[in-house]
Structure 1
Amino acid sequence: MTQNGTVQLEITGKRADVILTRPQARNAVNLPMCEDLIEAFEQIATQPEVGVVVLRSQGPVFCAGADMKERKGHDEAWVMMRRRTAFRAYEMIGACTRPVIAQVQGALVGSGGEIAMSCDFIVASQDATFRFPEPQWGTVGATQRLQRVVGVARAKELLYTGRIMDAQEASRIGLITTLTEADKLAQTVDDTAAQILNAPPLCVQLTKHCIDAGYRTDLNSGITIELAAIDRMLSESDWRGTIERFDARIGSGQKAARS
């Protein structure tokens, strides 16, 4: 376990948990949190045994957005430095070679959305709410990731109005991939992480790479990316053993069906 000032990293076996630990400030994002997120994902990158990452938070609120109070007494150069550090933190989350699940409860606001959308997907409780109030707060943010997740028109409407969106709507528009009851959130994430860990880790990592790289290019180039991944899989993994184990499972299932 590694405890930074605002972020806690726990590695248990093949799973890493990155935990926002500013519940007294509703996990609002400040400069130290950005720096601690960068450090946590740098540490994960050095741990080859980790196969899945869960990004979650302490307390009833996932993240209340940027800590606007920390800007008092600072000039424009500091604000730009702070924003660049935040983007670096989001980039580190998104660049993680292992699947990253965002576990969201309570309010998710502004920068909290940037953190969650930098993960591979979001599992949220039914009591979660989502708000992107950057223009309403006199700033600019979430203009790039949000439109890529929910579409251009929807992103504009959410950002222009700064309205609160409930979890059901967030699920309908694709911001949330899995919606669950509040008291089942942790178990749902645990089950999802366990399912990911059942797959050969190299295949999962290559799948993530192919999707992320392919999203940024055309179909033919994406197929080239996938073929390169398949070539690496054939040269570096026990793919013959995987086929044998698959055949054994199918055989066992057929026997059970006949008995």
Structure 2
Amino acid sequence: MSDMLSIEQREQAWVFTLNRPEKMNALAPELVLALTEGIQAAHQQKIPLMIFKGNGKNFCAGFDFSDLDTASEGDLLQRIIQIEIMLDLLATSPSMTIALCHGRNFGAGVDIIAACKHRIAAAGTSFRFPGIKFGLILGTRRFQNIVGTQNALEILSSTRTFDAQEAQKIAFMQEIREPEQWPSLIEQAEQNNAILSDVTRRNLYKVLYCSAESDQNLAALVRSASAPGLKDRIRAYLKPN
């Protein structure tokens, strides 16, 4: 397991902590792989509850652009696909999944939050989907399913930042709770999760979180990311105004 991710393995819950605070927990390939393998391991052991949070000043800054100059467009496309595979694994999980988020969060980092069934933010948390500026359609349908088409269209097309209060208003967040309250929230989540049997929970999630859209999401992502000039579009987005 990578040093970029720590997993606290409790009896009824695994707590995943993104641990790359010097890079705002940006999704380097090693971190994406560690998340993918950690989620798969939790599924294999039938862990009923997975919780995701970030170390440092935020949950996750999204895609890591630090090697943009040396990576090929094929490399970037492969990395983006791996992120979508990880997101789909999380979104279709038979476990209860909870995101505990804080600070400024962007792109694929917000997509991780959207892939969780229950989402809690600290006051002052903010969210932004900038990827559409360089033509990337990643996690769009999952966000739409939570907040509705009109809210998703307005937020995604404007690429604007929205805060925790607005997120709660449009149901992207269920609660606003400060980090010092999170340990008790985790304990309460473990108790609540025990109300249903594992079989009942899995059947319920299979109905509520249909995996039929998985291939459509991946296809939309590949079409958007594989259009010629991906690196140039990213550079234009990153260029200071």
Same fold by TM-score greater than 0.5:
yes
1:146 aligned to 2:143? yes
Query: Is 2:192 the partner of 1:195?
Result: yes
**3-state DSSP of counterpart to 1:119:** coil
Aligned to 2:30: 32
Q: For the structure 1 residues 7 and 139, does the alpha-carbon distance in structure 2 shift closer, same or farther, using more than 3 Å as the test?
A: farther
Residue 60 of structure 2 aligns to a residue whose secondary structure is: coil
After TM superposition, the structure 1 stretch with the greater mean CA deviation from structure 2, 22-31 or 138-147, is 138-147
Map Cα deviations across residues 111-152 of structure 1 (whole Å, 9 max, x no partner): 11111111112111122111111134x241342222222122
Q: Which residue does 1:14 correspond to in 2? A: 12
Q: In the superposition, relative to structure 1, how do residues 213 and 126 fare at CA in structure 2: closer, same or farther (>3 Å)?
A: same
**In the alignment, is the contact (CA less than 8 A) between 1:99 and 1:205 conserved in 2?**
no
Unaligned runs of 5+ in 2: 214-241
Which residue type is aligned with residue 123 of structure 2? Q
How far apart are the structure 2 equivalents of 1:139 and 1:10? 37
Give the match for residue 84 of structure 1.
Answer: 81
Deviation at 1:215, TM superposition (A): 8.9
* Alignment counterpart, residue 181 of structure 2, candidates 180, 184, 189: 184
Query: Among 68, 72, 76, which residue is 2:69 paired with?
Result: 72
1 or 2 for the larger relative contact order (CA 8 Å, sep ≥6)? Answer: 2
The answer (yes or no) to whether the contact 1:123–1:189 under 8 Å persists in 2 is no
CA distance in 1, matches of 2:183, 2:158: 32
Partner residue of 1:126? 123
CA drift at 1:71: 2.3
Rounded to whole Å, the distance in 1 between the matches of 2:179 and 2:95 is 26
Alignment root-mean-square deviation, CA: 2.0
State the partner residue of 2:170: 173
Corresponding residue number in structure 1 for 2:92 = 95
Map of 2:3 onto structure 1? 5
More deviation, 140-149/26-35: 140-149
C-alpha separation in 2, matches of 1:82 and 1:167:
29
The secondary structure found in structure 1 opposite 2:26 is coil
8 Å CA contact retained: 2:101, 2:122: yes
Q: TM-score, normalised by structure 1?
A: 0.75
Q: What is the CA deviation profile of residues 154-191 of structure 1, one whole-angstrom value per residue up to 9, with x for unaligned ones?
A: 22221222222110100010101122234323422432
Q: Would the aligned equivalents of 2:91 and 2:209 in 1 still touch at CA under 8 Å?
A: no
* 3-state secondary structure, aligned to 2:79: helix
Aligned residues: 212
Contact 1:150 1:174 in 2 (8 A): yes
CA gap of 1:213–1:146, structure 2 versus 1, over 3 A, is closer
What residue identity is the alignment partner of 1:99? M
What secondary structure sits across from 1:144 in the alignment?
A: helix
- Does the Cα contact within 8 Å between 2:98 and 2:116 map onto a contact in 1? yes
Paired amino acid for 1:151: G
Equivalent position amino acid for 1:143 in 2: T
Identical positions, percent: 21
Output the amino acid matched with 1:202.
Answer: V
Aligned counterpart, 1:219: none
Identify if the C-alpha distance between structure 1 residues 163 and 196 changes in structure 2 by more than 3 Å, giving closer, same or farther: same
- Inter-partner Cα distance in structure 2 for 1:24 and 1:198: 39
2:78 is the alignment partner of 1:113: no
Mapped partners of 2:204, 2:132: distance in 1: 36
Other-structure match for 1:135: 132
More helix by share: 1
Residue 5 of structure 1: how far off its partner (Å): 3.2
- Give the match for residue 247 of structure 1: none
Stretches of structure 1 that go unaligned for 5 or more consecutive residues are 217-259
Residue 94 to residue 143, structure 1, CA distance change in 2 (3 Å): closer
